[in-house]
Amino acid sequence: AQSVTQLGSHVSVSEGALVLLRCNYSSSVPPYLFWYVQYPNQGLQLLLKYTSAATLVKGINDFEAEFKKSETSFHLTKPSAHMSDAAEYFCAVSEGSSASKIIFGSGTRLSIRP
């Protein structure tokens, strides 16, 4: 069975500071992993995905995530936060066996302090 845990329901950083959002997963097979972002009153937008091609994945808006099998982690980072990064971020895992089997984390709300 798959599961995903996002550590911290709310993260606050200063503008220009490093953003680190944590995600740990559980999967019985090599997983596919995703990060999505949701701005207020909008749907979820795919930021990046890991599909086993490379452990460091680059996404939109300078976000990146690193797959660490030994730690079962897929943390999301951005070197320098912008005010526009304030949003809800969701980590998700899929075993790729069925179109329906993407499991989403509970989300982390990112706030940016001026």
Partner 1 sequence: ETGVTQTPRHLVMGMTNKKSLKCEQHLGHNAMYWYKQSAKKPLELMFVYNFKEQTENNSVPSRFSPECPNSSHLFLHLHTLQPEDSALYLCASSQSGGRSSYEQYFGPGTRLTVT
Binding stretches for partner 1 (CB under 8 A): 32, 34, 36, 41-46, 49, 51, 90, 94, 96-102, 104-107
**Could you tell me the smallest distance in angstroms from the CB atom of residue 41 to partner 1?**
7
Q: Which is nearer to partner 1, 45 or 55 (CB)?
A: 45
Ranges assigned E (strand) in 39-86: 44-50, 56-58, 64-68, 73-78
What is the closest distance, in whole angstroms, from the C-beta atom of residue 62 to partner 1 in the complex? 20
| Separation between Cα atoms, residue 79 and residue 54, nearest integer Å | 20
Q: Which is nearer to partner 1, 18 or 46 (CB)?
A: 46
Of 64, 63, 57, residue with least CA distance to 85: 63
